[in-house]
């Protein structure tokens, strides 16, 4: 059951899934929004340029029906007049066509944004499969689109029929008006009728745009398994990352252990912690931590110290403070200078006693640690 639930596409698409779909040309689009904007722009443009358009029509009408006998008998002059009339019409409708062209380029990209994808125009042989083509024709999606088209046609057609019926008297009365007035009146009636249809179209757009967004996200839904696989691709396999991290820690520990023989002293807890310190007055401003560890690592540091005859001092408060507050390969905190200086003084005395064959100096006890750096025994923690 768990595997089945992982395969069900119930999760919202991730940003990476949305980006990938966009690269493949899959974005939310609404043809109804594009149609609405083109119609609205066309009506607004026709209203604004109606005077110019009517003037162009009247000019063509006058020149087309008033010409001398010479024009009728000379083909070249007749063709020149026809071309002139075509240019007149073109100048009349050019502004409207220009605005419509701009809107035709902008409108489809208002939902989903601009997109240039080579994958969307890539030839896919599977799309040529007639069986799959018939499946798409008779699919539930095709049926829904057909129902939507029918409903839209009935709704808009009803508005147009109602407008014509309501203004039937005006339409008939156009025959009794002079050409200029009749054309302007008819054009305004057409504009008003189209404006009403566009207003009704707002309802269609208000339904279609949210539906297309929802449908697009539904198609891109992911299963839990797909999300996990994507996470693995982005972040890497957790098991591999764990092995890499373990290997890195092992290498760092190996480098740290190699520095233990160079230490001057190892301060212990006595068995839980071990911190190896080194100090060179000519090269260091203060003693430096060259190795530190707890439990098994601490035991390894103590073994290496014994093997290379590095002095070891059991000073639990100082060991805890060094382990907690001093980072590896860095100088100790200034507040611990006095305590560590007491330890190093003992180390130097011990070294001189070994060289001279003298009795070993007394081992330091109860080394004071500043209260602000003291770590109570009950609060020991690896950090």
Q: Are residues 200 and 342 in the same domain?
A: no
Same domain, 283 and 194: no
Task: Please name the residues in contact with 271: beta carbons below 8 A apart, sequence gap of 6 or more.
Answer: 298, 299
Do 197 and 296 fall within a single domain?
Answer: no
Kindly state whether residue 252 falls inside one of the protein's structural domains: no
Range of the domain at 156: 26-221
Distance CA 103, CA 40 (A): 10
Contact predicate 343/265, CB 8 Å = yes
User: Distance of CA 311 to CAs 262, 321, 364, Å?
Assistant: 12, 19, 13
In a domain, 3, yes or no: no
Point out which residues pair with 9 in neighbouring strands: 223
Provide the Cα torsion 275, 280, 283, 286; round to 10°. 50
Do residue 214 and residue 293 come from a single domain? no
Taking only the tens of pLDDT, the chain with its 383 residues reads 445 555 677 778 877 887 787 777 778 888 888 888 888 888 787 777 766 766 776 676 666 666 656 555 666 766 776 677 777 777 767 777 888 888 888 887 777 766 665 555 555 555 555 656 566 666 666 777 788 788 878 888 888 888 888 888 888 888 888 877 887 788 788 888 888 888 888 888 888 888 888 888 888 888 888 877 777 776 665 666 677 777 877 887 888 888 889 899 999 987 789 999 999 888 888 999 999 988 889 999 999 999 999 999 998 999 999 999 988 889 999 999 999 999 999 999 988 888 888 888 888 888 888 888 888 875 555 44
Does 327 reside within a domain? yes
Q: Which residues of 53-84 are buried (b: 16+ CB within 10 A; e: fewer)?
A: bbbbbebbeeeeeeeeeeeeeeeeeeeeeeee
Where b means 16+ CB within 10 Å and e means fewer, 335-373 reads ebeebbeebeebbeebeeeeeeeeeeeeebeebebeeeb
Same domain for 263 and 217: no
Q: Token pair for residue 210? A: 């949210």
CATH of residue 264: 3.40.1690.10
Same domain, yes or no: 312 and 374: yes
Can you name the residues that pair with 274 across neighbouring β-strands? 268, 293
- If asked whether residues 99 and 144 sit together in one domain, one would say yes
312 domain-assigned: yes
Looking at the fold, whether 350 and 213 belong to one and the same domain comes out as no
The domain tally of the chain equals 2
Q: Are residues 108 and 164 in the same domain?
A: yes
DSSP 8-state code for residue 188: H
Looking at the fold, whether 344 and 212 belong to one and the same domain comes out as: no
Is 237 part of a structural domain of the chain? no
pLDDT at residue 240, as a whole number? 66
Would you tell me the crossing angle of helices 238-259 and 296-307 to the nearest 10 degrees?
30
Q: Which residues make Cβ contacts (< 8 Å) with residue 257, sequence separation at least 6?
A: 291, 300, 301, 304
Burial 276-315 (b: 16+ CB within 10 A, else e): bbbbeeeeeeebbbbbbbbeebbebbbebbeeeebbbbeb
Q: What contacts 152, CB < 8 A, 6 or more positions away?
A: 32, 201, 204
Q: Choose among 354, 253, 249: nearest CA to 311.
A: 354
In this structure, is residue 5 part of a structural domain?
no
CB 333 within 8 A of CB 348: no
Mark whether 135 and 199 lie in a shared domain.
yes
For residue 141, cis peptide bond before it (omega within 30 degrees of 0): no
Q: Which is it for strands 312-314 and 265-268: parallel, antiparallel or unpaired?
A: parallel
Residues 279 and 197 in one domain: no
Where are the extended beta strands (E) located within the chain? 9-11, 222-223, 265-268, 273-278, 288-294, 312-314
Residue 236 lies in a domain: no
Question: Does residue 62 lie within any of the structural domains?
Answer: yes
Residues recorded for the chain: 383
Give the C-alpha separation, 115 to 21, whole Å. Answer: 11
- DSSP state string for 80-107: HHHHHHHHHHHHHHHHHHHHHHHHHHHG
Instruction: Map residue 361 onto helix, strand or coil.
Output: coil
């Amino acid at each position: 059951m768990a595997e089945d639930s992982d395969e069900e596409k119930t999760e919202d698409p991730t940003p990476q899934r949305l980006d990938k779909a966009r690269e493949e040309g899959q974005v939310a689009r609404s043809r109804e929004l594009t149609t609405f904007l083109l119609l609205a722009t066309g009506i607004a443009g026709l209203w604004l340029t109606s005077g110019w358009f009517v003037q162009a029509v009247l000019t063509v009408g006058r020149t087309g029906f008033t010409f001398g006998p010479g024009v009728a008998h000379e083909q070249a002059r007749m063709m020149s007049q026809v071309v002139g009339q075509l240019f007149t019409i073109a100048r009349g409708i050019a502004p409207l066509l220009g605005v419509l062209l701009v809107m035709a380029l902008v409108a489809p990209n208002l939902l989903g944004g601009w997109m240039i994808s080579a994958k969307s125009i890539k030839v896919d042989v599977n799309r040529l499969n007639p069986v799959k083509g018939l499946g798409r024709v008779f699919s539930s999606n095709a049926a829904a689109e057909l129902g939507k088209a029918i409903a839209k046609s009935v709704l808009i057609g009803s508005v147009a029929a109602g407008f014509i019926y309501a203004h039937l008297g005006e339409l008939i009365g156009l025959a009794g008006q002079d050409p200029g007035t009749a054309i302007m009146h008819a054009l305004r009636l057409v504009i008003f009728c189209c404006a009403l249809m566009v207003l009704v179209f707002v309802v269609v757009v208000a339904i279609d745009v949210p539906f297309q967004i929802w449908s697009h996200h539904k198609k891109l839904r992911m299963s839990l398994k797909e999300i996990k696989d994507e996470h693995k691709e982005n972040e890497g396999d957790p098991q591999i990352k764990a092995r890499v991290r373990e290997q890195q820690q092992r290498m760092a520990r190996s480098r740290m252990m190699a520095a233990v023989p160079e230490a001057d002293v190892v301060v212990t807890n006595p068995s839980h912690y071990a911190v190896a310190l080194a100090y060179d007055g000519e090269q260091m401003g203060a003693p430096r931590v060259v190795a530190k560890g707890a439990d098994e690592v601490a035991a390894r540091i103590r073994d290496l110290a014994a093997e290379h005859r590095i002095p070891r001092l059991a000073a639990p408060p100082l060991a805890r403070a060094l382990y907690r507050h001093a980072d590896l390969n860095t100088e100790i905190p200034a507040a611990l200078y006095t305590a560590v200086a007491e330890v190093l003084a003992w180390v130097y005395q011990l070294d001189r006693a070994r060289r001279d064959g003298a009795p070993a100096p007394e081992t330091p006890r109860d080394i004071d640690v500043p209260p602000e750096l003291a770590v109570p025994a009950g609060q020991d923690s690896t950090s």
